[in-house]
Amino acid sequence: MNSLKQSFKVFLLRVPLKEQVIFARHLAVMARSGMPLLDSLVLIKKQSRSKSMKKILEQVTLEVSNGQFLSASLEQFRRVFGDLFIDIIRVGEASGTLSENLNYLADELKKKQELRSKVVGAMIYPIIVLTATLGITGLLTIFIFPKIMPVFQSLNVDLPITTKILIAVSNILTNYGGWAVLAALILLAILWALLRVEKIRYYYDAVLLHSPIIGSVVHSVNLSNFCRTLGLTLKSGVQVVQAIDITASTLSNLVYRKELAVIGVDLAKGEAISKHLSKHSNVFPPLLAQMVEVGENTGNLSDTFLYLAEFYEGELNEFTKNMSTILEPILMVTMGIIVGFVAISIITPIYEVTQRFGR
């Protein structure tokens, strides 16, 4: 019962990526300065602004004071920090390079945070525009159109198909708006539940990879995370097969996860990473396979992956900067169609009535 209660408490904990970066960076500085680990953890706990982080550090501090390794103390919070965070600290403790590994980790987490911010920032503009358009259209359909609809119905004229469609939509939203919202929420819940099924989620991720515009973002984000995480783990002293497993766990796209799982199996058989990459050019670009092959031949694989991470991040930067330019015409056309449809639905019958009375 106590174990179940503890697991539930851990499930509720949320530590922002920014707090994880600060924790790793501060601990690295203190470790390099020679400050004892226990004192470092106590000091970081006092400075932390996150309630979840304070609770975690309270438990970790207690266990470290009883002689437990830091990585072992963090193990129970693996769901909060992830495999990468804990395994890199474990390797650093074993090899005596904890401060260096913590710095690598802080850099990786900061890059991940920046990458996420860029992607979210690029999506804000189209989301705001679409939301505003749908909101205004909804207000016109629900509140304004029903007030002038009796006028249309009282006139003995044949209404155009666009007006009939708008009347039907307005009636549904006015009379069954609550049910429509409930149906939409139920549909979203069903979709969310379906995406928890691994096979369905895999096909969903595969469709995303081949979608126009979004596919480029998904490719760049996953390739960047793949290269940076693998480069970091190798640089930190993690064995290559374990590094592949850790990297797979950090990727959100199941297509890439599956490919990395196969790479891990091939590596255990003695095959090179580049061989698998070159066979799957639809997921891994030819440049990636060629550069990795060079890294394998020169024994400089970690730096090669870190260079490739910078390259794909640069591509993503360029794409996100140009995204508003790419999406603006699409958004303008979409807005024009929606607003134009509503305008035609209202103006056309009025024009026909005025024409009739003018004869």
pLDDT digits 0-9 by tens, 94-121: 877 888 888 888 887 888 788 778 777 7
Encoding tokens for residue 188? Answer: 């979203």
End-to-end CA distance of the chain: 85
**What percent of the chain stands above pLDDT 90?**
6
* pLDDT at residue 252, as a whole number: 82
Cα–Cα distance, 347 to 90 (Å, whole number): 70
Reported confidence tier of residue 1, pLDDT bands at 50, 70, 90: very low
Distances (CA, A) of 300 to 146, 202, 245, 295, 307: 70, 33, 20, 5, 11
244, 339 Cβ separation under 8 angstroms: no
* pLDDT at residue 186, as a whole number: 94
Cα–Cα distance, 74 to 198 (Å, whole number): 28
Question: Taking residues 21-35, what's their average pLDDT?
Answer: 87
Residues 6 or more apart whose Cβ sits within 8 Å of residue 40 = 26, 27, 30, 31
Residues 6 or more apart whose Cβ sits within 8 Å of residue 140 = 342
Q: What are phi and psi of 158, to 5 degrees?
A: -85, 110
Cα–Cα distance, 267 to 273 (Å, whole number): 7
Homologous superfamily (CATH) of 111-359 is: Type II secretion system (T2SS), domain F (1.20.81.30)
Question: Taking residues 305-314, what's their average pLDDT?
Answer: 88
pLDDT of residue 4 exceeding 50: no
- What would the pLDDT profile of 182-215 be if each residue is shown by its tens digit? 888 999 999 999 888 888 999 999 998 888 778 8
Which residue pairs from 199-204 have beta carbons closer than 8 angstroms and sit at least 24 positions apart in sequence?
201/254, 202/254, 202/255, 202/258
Q: Is 96 left (phi over 0), alpha (psi -120 to 50) or beta?
A: left
Transcribe 204-243 into DSSP letters: HHHHHHTSTTHHHHHHHHHHHHHHHHHHHHHHTT--HHHH
Reported confidence tier of residue 358, pLDDT bands at 50, 70, 90: low
Q: Establish whether domains 2-81 and 111-359 are of one fold.
A: yes
Cα–Cα distance, 216 to 228 (Å, whole number): 18
- Mean pLDDT score of the chain, rounded to an integer? 82
* pLDDT at residue 111, as a whole number: 81
Cα–Cα distance, 358 to 155 (Å, whole number): 15
pLDDT of residue 221 exceeding 50: yes
Closest Cα partner for 238 from 110, 115, 104, 111? 104
Reported confidence tier of residue 8, pLDDT bands at 50, 70, 90: very low
Name the one residue in this structure whose structure tokens are 């009939």. 164
Encoding tokens for residue 322? Answer: 């140009």
pLDDT of residue 241 exceeding 80: yes
Question: Taking residues 274-280, what's their average pLDDT?
Answer: 87
Cα–Cα distance, 255 to 253 (Å, whole number): 6
Homologous superfamily (CATH) of 2-81 is: Type II secretion system (T2SS), domain F (1.20.81.30)
316, 217 Cβ separation under 8 angstroms: yes
Which residue pairs from 146-155 have beta carbons closer than 8 angstroms and sit at least 24 positions apart in sequence?
146/170, 146/174, 148/346, 152/349, 155/349, 155/353
Name the one residue in this structure whose structure tokens are 């693998």. 230
Domain layout of the chain by residue ranges: 2-81, 111-359
CB atoms within 10 A of CB 49: 10
Report pTM: 0.71
